[in-house]
């Protein structure tokens, strides 16, 4: 486990946070508590992954919004909600959208469609990314600390702990996907009406 995490752990955090990533970052913080990874390295990898992923979605919104919206029509409702939030709370929203579950992927895309300047988004996005990476990674580290206070030496349970945290993240993600699917099915039924059944 130690050799694997030291070889691939930072890359896993970077790629995981590029794609979405709270669970992988909590696991990175837990691994740092166990001494397998350096906490500062975990935070920097998460910062880089999160920043790059959100900048990519920003530029996709700026350059390819029509193409992507035809492929993801379900984003339309979220984009309307996001645009209302951008109009009212631009700076705090850019700093904190990572903490808005369900809007995290679509928000940088929506900001890219809006008239927010590239440099402004990059600057605020970088601040938001480092704050988010530090809070979540330190949360994982402190989670390990708390478990050690309760269970003693948690290295005996390390594989089970990693699996349980990963399963918890997968369950949360599955619940989100099921709710999204149900909402989409309900919206489709509303559009079709009784005759469409």
38 within some domain? yes
Phi and psi angles of residue 38, each rounded to the nearest 5 degrees, phi first: -90, 130
172 within some domain? no
Rg for the chain, CA atoms, rounded = 19
61 within some domain? yes
137 within some domain? yes
49 within some domain? yes
181 within some domain? no
Rounded to 10°, the helix 22-33/158-192 angle is 170
- How many structural domains comprise the chain? 1
97 within some domain? yes
Instruction: Domain of residue 143: give its range.
Output: 2-155
C-alpha–C-alpha distance, residues 3 and 7, integer Å: 6
166 within some domain? no
Model confidence pLDDT, tens digit, residues 91-136 = 999 999 888 776 777 789 889 988 899 999 999 999 999 999 999 9
The counts of H helices and E strands in the chain are 8, 0
C-alpha–C-alpha distance, residues 183 and 197, integer Å: 17
Q: Tens place of pLDDT for every residue, the chain, 197 residues?
A: 666 777 778 998 999 898 877 888 888 888 898 888 899 999 999 999 999 999 998 998 888 776 667 777 766 777 777 778 888 888 999 999 888 776 777 789 889 988 899 999 999 999 999 999 999 999 989 987 776 666 555 556 566 656 666 666 566 656 656 766 676 665 555 555 555 44
Phi and psi angles of residue 12, each rounded to the nearest 5 degrees, phi first: -65, -40
pTM above threshold 0.85: no
């Amino acid at each position: 486990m130690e050799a694997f995490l030291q070889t691939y752990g930072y890359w896993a955090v970077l790629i995981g946070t590029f794609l979405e990533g709270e669970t992988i970052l909590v696991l990175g913080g837990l691994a740092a508590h166990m001494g397998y990874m350096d906490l500062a390295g975990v935070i920097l990898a998460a910062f880089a992954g999160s920043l790059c992923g959100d900048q990519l979605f920003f530029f996709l919104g700026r350059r390819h919004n029509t193409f992507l919206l035809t492929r993801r029509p379900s984003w339309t409702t979220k984009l309307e909600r996001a645009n209302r939030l951008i109009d009212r709370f631009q700076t705090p929203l850019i700093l904190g959208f990572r903490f808005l579950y369900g809007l995290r992927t679509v928000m940088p895309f929506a900001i890219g469609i809006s008239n927010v300047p590239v440099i402004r988004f990059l600057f605020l996005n970088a601040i938001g990314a480092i704050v988010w990476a530090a809070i979540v990674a330190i949360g994982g580290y402190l989670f390990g600390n708390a478990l050690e206070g309760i269970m003693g030496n948690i290295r005996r349970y390390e594989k089970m702990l990693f699996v349980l945290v990963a399963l918890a993240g997968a369950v949360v993600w599955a619940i989100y996907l099921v709710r999204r699917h149900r909402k989409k099915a309900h919206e489709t039924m509303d559009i079709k009406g009784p005759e469409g059944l």
